[in-house]
Amino acid sequence: MRSFFFFLAALRAAAYVWPDPQTDEMERLLYENAARGVDTPAFGVADCAIEPTDQSPFKGRTNAAEWFRTAYHDMATADVFSGRGGIDASIGFELNRPENPGLAFSETVNFFLAFQSTQVAMADLIALGAVLAVASCSNATISIPVRAGRVDATEAEPFGVPEPQQDLDSHVKAFARQGFNATEMIGLLACGHTLGGVHGNDFPDIVDVTEDPYAVPSQVTMSQYMLTIIGW
């Protein structure tokens, strides 16, 4: 009898049954919006080009690009071979690393702190941020499916975010560790970098522009630029 109840419990965890506090809160944050007077995070990307503030040092940055880059840097430490990492909010412990330059990560985590609860971990909010950013910047034509129930890390993950000065072979190996083959790497780099730009404060060797959210070297698009970096 006892094992029967354990079996039922396992089934319940696998299939969504309403009400489910984690999924329901995640859906509330995803679908309800400020126009209805509801406090949900979508207002941060109501327009793809919204800047956190028009004051230095945030001027020339956009929430959508920062949220999307944060999701990637948080998951980029993942190791599919050992099963470690993924989107787990470990980025909060990794802010001082050279592989995480710029204000995007602290900005994003600070924005989402107001929505963290016993139902929704910071890791879920970082995933939600990526979904909201893509929805906004595609004018609601791209809807990425999202699940709730991630557990926040309690310490930093090993280093592992790719850096622009590294060579192609390192990038291919880093993406393989993250669970992506070379085709998927190119897709992620090219499409990921259609949002936002490079900031001269953080990468003065790449651009000298500090307050243009879409600044890329020689006015090429960011994704073309990234393909050039990886020697494609």
The yes or no reply on residue 181 touching ligand NAG (CB under 6 A) is yes
Q: What residues between 128 and 187 interact with ligand HEM by CB under 6 A?
A: 162-164, 171
Of the pair 64, 122, the CB lying nearest ligand HEM is at: 64
Query: Residue 139 CB, nearest distance to ligand HEM (Å)?
Result: 17
In the range 197-216, which residues lie near ligand HEM by CB under 6 A? 197-199, 202-203
Alpha carbons 16 and 107: distance in angstroms, whole number = 32
Please say whether the beta carbons of 216 and 207 come within 8 A: yes
Stretch that binds ligand NAG, among 41-49, 93-101, 114-122, 181-189 (CB under 6 A): 181-189
Nearer to ligand NAG, 95 or 172 (CB): 172
| Shorter beta-carbon distance to ligand NAG: residue 139 or 218 | 139
**Coil vs helix vs strand at 223:** helix
Residue 61 near which of ligand HEM, ligand NAG, none (CB within 5-8 Å, type-dependent): ligand HEM
**Range in contact with ligand NAG (rule: CB under 6 A) among 118-126, 153-161, 176-184, 196-204:** 176-184
Q: CB-wise, 16 or 232, nearer to ligand NAG?
A: 232
182 binds, among ligand HEM, ligand NAG, none (CB under 5 to 8 A by kind): ligand NAG
The footprint of ligand NAG on residues 124-163 (CB under 6 A) is 139
How far is 224 from 232, CA to CA, in rounded Å? 10
Alpha helices (H) in the chain, listed in sequence order = 2-14, 21-31, 63-75, 104-113, 122-137, 168-178, 182-192, 222-229
User: ∠ at Cα 128 (126, 134), nearest 5°?
Assistant: 110
Residue sitting closest to ligand HEM (CB): 196
Residue 112 burial class via C-beta count within 10 angstroms: exposed 0-12, middle 13-18, buried 19 and up = buried
| Cβ–Cβ under 8 Å, residues 104 and 92 | no
Residue 193 makes CB contacts below 8 A (sequence gap 6+) with 221, 222, 223, 225, 226
Q: Are 122 and 152 in contact (CB under 8 A)?
A: yes
Number of residues this chain uses to bind ligand NAG (CB under 6 A): 5
Token pair for residue 209? 């522009």
Return the number of the residue (119 or 210) whose C-beta is nearest ligand HEM: 210
Residues that bind ligand NAG in the complex, under the rule CB under 6 A: 139, 181-184
Residues that bind ligand HEM in the complex, under the rule CB under 6 A: 61, 65-66, 68-69, 72, 102, 104, 162-164, 171, 188-189, 192-193, 195-199, 202-203
